[in-house]
Amino acid sequence: MKIYTKFGDRGQTALFDGTRVGKDDLRIETYGTVDELNSVIGVAIAQSAHERVTGVLVRLQRELFVLGSDLATPAGSKNEGKVKRIGAEEVAGLEREIDLATAELPALKNFILPGGSVAGATLHVARTVCRRAERCLVGLMHAEGAEEESQSLIYLNRLSDLLFTLARLANKLEGRGDVEWHLG
């Protein structure tokens, strides 16, 4: 299989069902941002020496592939039944990981500045990319008139919380404290 197809040379790409859309389509922007998030998580994995953090991150990368295929397959499209959708089970898994990691950390008493260890700082970058993906998805939902609760949106919201918590945990495991923000 060739890595290049030349189909995108005119600014078009295909969704999972074969529908051609512009590369600037909001759906493409949304799952492209999820792909970017997955890459940043890959950098965090490469920088972390702690299985406690990397084990969770590897699982998140797999889930983000599911989310990407979910977002690349609009509801009602001909291939809808061929993709797994992000659901309540994945959201509950994120919540469990947040609770487990939080139990290992000191109580949060101040706002935290992004930083600390290299892995921790990278996880803060991942958190901000996740928030951008969330904003893109909200825009996509508004553009498509989706008013029902979206498990994908809930997943991204919880994921950003988990990435924040994992950044704190990575810093703790590296012997670095939180970088607290104080007014003044």
Sole residue written with tokens 């947040």: 98
CA separation for the pair 44, 47 (Å, rounded): 5
Could you tell me if residue 18 is inside a domain?
no
32-36 contacts, C-beta under 8 A, 24 or more apart: 33/129, 33/132, 33/133, 33/136, 34/64, 34/67, 34/68, 34/71, 34/133, 35/64, 35/68, 36/129, 36/133
Could you tell me if residue 121 is inside a domain?
yes
Q: What is the pTM of this model?
A: 0.93
Structural domain count of the chain: 1
Whole-number mean pLDDT of the chain? 93
3 state SS for the chain: CCCCCCHHHHCEEECCCCCEEECCCHHHHHHHHHHHHHHHHHHHHHHCCCHHHHHHHHHHHHHHHHHHHHHCCCCCCCCHHHCCCCCHHHHHHHHHHHHHHHHCCCCCCCEEECCCCHHHHHHHHHHHHHHHHHHHHHHHHHHCCCCCCCHHHHHHHHHHHHHHHHHHHHHHHCCCCCEEECCC
CA separation for the pair 130, 170 (Å, rounded): 18
Could you tell me if residue 164 is inside a domain?
yes
Residue 6 CB neighbours (<10 A): 7
Per the structure, the complete domain to which residue 154 belongs is given by 24-177
Residue 74: which CATH number? 1.20.1200.10
Could you tell me if residue 19 is inside a domain?
no
Could you tell me if residue 9 is inside a domain?
no
Tens of pLDDT, residues 122-134: 999 999 999 999 9
pLDDT of residue 33: 98
Higher pLDDT, 22 or 158: 158
Report the share of the chain in percent with pLDDT over 90. Answer: 71
Higher pLDDT, 8 or 157: 157
- Asked if the model's pLDDT at residue 74 lies above 90, the reply is no
